[in-house]
A and B are shown apart, each in its own frame.
With several copies, the nearest count.
Chain A
Amino acid sequence: MAGFDKVVHSYEEALAGLTDGMSMAVGGFGLCGIPENLIAQVKKMGTRDLTVFSNNCGVDGFGLGLLLQDKQISRIYASYVGENKEFERQMLEGELEVILTPQGTLAEKMRAGGAGIPAFYTATGYGTPIAEGKETREFNGRHYVLEEAINADFSLVKAWKADRYGNAIYRHTAQNFNPMAATCGKICVMEVEEIVEPGELDPAQIQTPGIYVNRLIQGTFEKRIEKRTVRQG
C-alpha cells in the first residue's frame, strides 16, 4: 500500500487493531446498508466489551445482532430497539447498557465528531428523559438541549462503489448513517460492492471523500431484507 491506495485484501487486515474495550461507529439503517462482512469479522475475532454507535442493532442472528449473541457489546447508542428480541432482553435485564438516542441527534452527533464540532444545541428531546443531566438553553424563545459529538476508535461502513483512494458513493437508501459514521472514527474501514480505478467516479458525485477512509475492501453481500413488502405489478 503506497500513496492513496486504501485497498486491503482480507477482513483480518481490514480490522487489525480493533481490540477489547474499543468503540465503533457502524453505518446502516435496520439491515439496509450495514457492513455485514465487517460485523461478521468482529464476531469471528471475538472482540469484547465494545461500545457501538449505530441506529439499530441488527436482528437476531444477523448484522450487529450477531455480536449481541456472543455478548461482545457492552454499551450501545441507538435510536431503535424494536424487532430485536435479544437486544430488548439484554437491555431490560441490564446486561447491556443502552443509551437511546434520537435518530437525528445520533446522525448529527456522528457528523459533529467528524467535523471537529464538540457539541451543538438541538430542540430534539427537550423536556423528555433524553435531556436529563444535559445542559438546556433558550435561543430566541425556544428551548434546546446541548448534545456532544461522537468520536469512535473505528468506523465500520458499507458503500456501493469506491475508487482505490476511498472516494465512495452509496446506493439508494443504503446511504443512511454510513457517510457520518465514516467521518467520526479514528480508523475508518469501508467495505464496498465494487472497487474502481481513480477517475471512474464523477468527482462532483462523491459522497464520502477518500480523506476519511483508511482501509477499503471489496466484499460480497447477502443484503437481507427485514420487511419484504410488495404490490401486484
Chain B
Amino acid sequence: MSLTREQMAMRVARELEDGYYVNLGIGMPTLVANYVPEGMEVMLQSENGILGMGPYPTEAELDADMINAGKETVTTIAGAAVFSSAASFEMIRGGHVDLTVLGAFEVDVNGDIASWMVPGKLIKGMGGAMDLVAAARNIIVMMTHADKHGNSKLLNSCTLPLTGSGCIHKVLTDLAYLEIENGAFILKERAPGISVEEIIAKTEGKLIVPDHVPEMTFA
C-alpha cells in the first residue's frame, strides 16, 4: 500500500532532531508538525515572518493580523519572534534554518527541483520556495512518486522550469524514501508492502537499488 499523507508526514518527522528550526512548506509538509516525537522540541519558521508558529487559533483567538505563509490564521508559541519579510529571509538565505520540507512537481538525479510552474497551464509563482531551496543545508522533498496520470516525478532531468538546481538530496514519496547522490536516486527504504519492482517501474530517473531495501518504520 502506498503511504497515506499522514504516514508520509510521520516518516518525515523521523528526520527531526531536538532543537531544530524547521520550515514546512504549504500543503502536505504542514502535517509533519503533528508528528514531532514525544520529548523533542522543534520550532516552526514561517517565511512571512514567524519563528515559533503555533497551532490554528480558537474562534476566540482568531486574528487577521496573524497568519502563516500559507495565509492560514495561526498562533504563536511562548518564546516566538515575529519580524519582517526581509528579516525572515535573512534567516532562510543565511542558512540558519535546520530543515526545510517542501513539495514538488518533479525532482531529478542531479538534485534539481521543479515546483512552481507548468508552462501554459499553471503558474502559482515560486513564493519563498526558491529562497528556501537555494539556502537550506537540509531539505526533504515530500511528494507522490508519480503524478495522477501515473507519470514518474523522479526523473533523469526535470522537464518543468526549475525552482533550484543541485540542491535536493532527500526525497520522501508515497512509495519510498530515496537519497540523491552522484547523479542517481538511491533507494533507501520502501513503503510497507511496496515491492522494489514497483518502485523501479515508477522511477524514471536512474535508480540504484541496494541489496537490501528495508521497509520503512514510523517511530
Q: Measuring CB to CB, which residues of chain A are less than 8 angstroms from any residue of chain B?
A: 2-4, 29-33, 55, 78-83, 88, 91-92, 98, 100, 102-108, 110-111, 113-117, 122-130, 160, 163-165, 167, 170-180, 183, 197-199, 203-204, 206-207, 209-212, 223-233
Contact = CB atoms under 8 A, between A and B. Distances in A.
B1 interface: no
Nearest to A3: B41
A206 B79 CA distance: 10
Contacts of B131: 102-105, 124
B126 A102 contact: yes
Given A102-B131, A174-B65, A199 B164 contact: no
A143 to B, nearest CB: 8
The 4 A-B residue pairs whose C-beta atoms are closest, nearest first, are A198-B79, A233-B58, A127-B165, A199-B78
A108 B70 contact: no
Given A29-B49, A108-B89, A225-B73, 14 more contacts: A100-B126, A102-B131, A103-B127, A103-B131, A114-B90, A116-B90, A122-B93, A126-B164, A128-B165, A174-B64, A178-B84, A180-B84, A229-B56, A233-B61
A227 B72 contact: yes
B78 A198 contact: yes
Nearest to A231: B56
Interface of B: 18-19, 21, 40-41, 43, 45-52, 55-74, 76-97, 112, 116-117, 120, 123-131, 134-135, 161-166
Contact of A130 (B63, B95, B130): B130
B93 A124 contact: yes
Contacts of B50: 173
Given A104-B89, A128-B162, A183 B94 contact: yes
A233 B84 contact: no
Majority SS of interface residues in chain B?
loop
Contact of A209 (B58, B91, B123): B91
A167 B125 contact: no
A233 B60 contact: yes
Contacts of B116: 100
Contacts of A80: 124-127
Contacts of A183: 90, 94, 96
Nearest to B43: A4
29 contacts: A3-B19, A31-B71, A32-B65, A55-B85, A80-B126, A81-B123, A81-B124, A81-B125, A83-B71, A100-B125, A104-B93, A106-B85, A108-B86, A113-B94, A115-B94, A116-B93, A124-B131, A128-B162, A172-B63, A180-B84, A183-B90, A199-B79, A203-B82, A209-B81, A224-B64, A225-B67, A227-B67, A227-B72, A233-B61
A231 B81 contact: no
A27 to B, nearest CB: 9
A106 B86 CA distance: 9
B86 A179 contact: yes
